[in-house]
Chain A
Amino acid sequence: MVIPMLRFLKLCSLLVLLACLPACQTQPTDDALYHELGGMEGITRITDNFIYEIGFDKNIVRHFEETDLDRFREKFIEQVCELSGGPCRYSGDSMVDVHTNMNITEAEFNQTVDLLIAAMNRSGIAHPTQNKLLALLAPTRPDIIYQ
């Protein structure tokens, strides 16, 4: 009887761990992530590398054929700066408005995420810091794909 009991307890502790996960998630209330990304300078470098990576991806870059890249650069920097707790206000259009009629697929969205990851790698951003930014960008997906 003792052994099955122990097994049961092991399973229970695992379940408790799982149940606590949502509570363990904390939203950054300060500008820690902004600084981890290297502030304005770091975010600018990530964005430039991102644009560079997009330029080499023939599947993704076709969406940007008629884009004003200076504007994209400025708005993307603002957005990342604001999301990471930095001293900016995003002044661009809503994600839905911007990406409407592009019919961006799920695969293209993920491919773009990969390009952003490549850009962050190129900028020397640590893996945990990358994840924290990706966690903040992930909720934009429903506004961007298949619009």
Chain B
Amino acid sequence: MTTLRYLLAGGVLAFAGWAQAGAGKLQETAGVTQVEGSGGGGLVPWATLSGYDTRDEWSSSVFMTRVSLPDYRLQVFGASASIYDRLELSLARQTFELKNVPFGEREINQRILGLKARVMGDIVYGNWPQMAVGVQYKELENDAIASAIGAQDTDHGTDLYLAVSKAHLGVLWGYNLVWDLTLRATKANQFGLLGYGGDNNDSHEVMAEAAVAALLSRQLAIGFEYRQKPDNLSALEEEDAHDVFVAYLPNKQFNITFAWADLGIIAGEDNQSGAYVSLTGYLW
């Protein structure tokens, strides 16, 4: 993974030498950054790429996200590069802190390497939606908790997804409306934080994820997301997640998203819902 990181950084720097950095997309159309570091939404990876690059440009961004739940806290940091409005490369690190744990492991760390390719279409222009395929390679840094709760694989897991998104200009009493539908093949328990696969199920299952948003202005979006999750561990029930969000995107350099995220029951603790805050900054 460390080698991977250096390769990534080296690749990005080498690329900067001959490609042109830019932000030629329309305001708001790069969306924000989701919880695993891919361009999205908050919980859901959308078909949009993480940067404002057009087919002649590339761009990069960094983000941080915090979800404060009654019994846990999730923090995510990451960086992403988006190239020629075609390819997105992202790296994220999640830290999941457990409250009320008197001894032993108090946090779980997961690294996620993401790759997404826009296959066809454009979120704004043309009749077809924008369609992208992506992969999220997830690696747990500490497997003690995943082992303790009976995950089949406590080392790494891979999610594959297909995302379709479209903006419809002026259709909602003149406001722009955006939707996304994502199908994800996964066996991750709680996003992978509790390992991958379990005694109920140890194979990839297809999960549906969806989002709708209304763009109230060129800077403000509100919306709703839903993310279906597997339920692989017989001992620890897992529920689907959803959120309502307000995103403020004052310019193409920076945006901030506030949400109320409901992640359901996590490792025996009921009603894990709480405030979600995420910031994305665009570098060049």
Interface residues of B in 138-180 (CB under 8 A from A): 166, 168-171, 173-177, 179
A11 within 8 A of B: yes
Interface size for chain A: under 10, 10 to 19, 20 to 34, or 35 or more residues? 20 to 34
A25 touching B175 by the CB < 8 A rule? no
Contacts of B263 in A (CB 8 A): none
Residues on A with beta carbons closer than 8 Å to the beta carbon of B126: 141-142
List chain B residues, Cβ under 8 A from A5. none
Which of B125, B166, B175 sits near A128, CB closer than 8 Å?
B175
1/0 per residue, CB under 8 A from A, across B220-264: the answer is 000010101000000000011010000000000000000000000
Contact between B26 and A114, CB atoms less than 8 A apart = yes
- Chain B interface, number of residues (Cβ within 8 angstroms): 37
Q: Which of A60-68, A76-84, A129-137 contacts B (4 or more CB under 8 A)?
A: A129-137
Give CA–CA (A135, B124) in the complex, Å.
9
| B25-A110 in contact (CB<8A) | yes
Select one of B55, B168, B226, B240 contacting A25, CB under 8 A.
B168
Complex Cα–Cα for A128 and B176 (A): 8
Q: Enumerate chain A residues within 8 angstroms of B179, measured Cβ to Cβ.
A: 18, 21
A124 vs chain B, min Cβ distance (A): 15
The stretch of B113-121, B193-201, B210-218 in contact with A is: B210-218
Residues 6-25 of A at the B interface (beta carbon under 8 Å) = 7, 10-11, 14-15, 17-18, 21, 24-25
Q: A107-B24, A110-B54, A131-B176 are in contact. Are A11 and B208 (CB under 8 A)?
A: yes
Q: Is the CB of B174 within 8 A of A129?
A: yes
Distance (whole angstroms) from the CB of A121 to the closest CB of chain B: 9
Interface string of A31-51 (1 = CB under 8 A from B): 000000000000000000000
* A131 with B169, Cβ < 8 A, contacts A14-B226, A117-B218 known: yes
Q: Is the CB of B24 within 8 A of A21?
A: no
Contact call B217/A105, Cβ cutoff below 8 A = no
Would B210 and A127 count as touching, CB distance under 8 A? no
Is B203 positioned at the interface, with any CB of A under 8 Å from its CB? no
A97 on the B face (CB < 8 A) = no
Cβ–Cβ contact B170 & A106, under 8 A: no
Q: Which residues of B contact A141 (CB under 8 A)?
A: 125-126
Measured CB to CB, the residues of A under 8 A from B are 3, 7, 10-11, 14-15, 17-18, 21, 24-25, 105-108, 110-111, 113-114, 117, 126-129, 131-132, 134-135, 138, 141-142
24 A–B contacts from the bound complex (CB under 8 Å): A7-B228, A7-B240, A11-B226, A14-B212, A15-B210, A17-B212, A18-B212, A21-B168, A21-B179, A24-B171, A105-B24, A106-B56, A108-B24, A114-B26, A127-B174, A128-B173, A129-B174, A131-B169, A131-B174, A132-B169, A132-B174, A134-B170, A138-B125, A141-B126
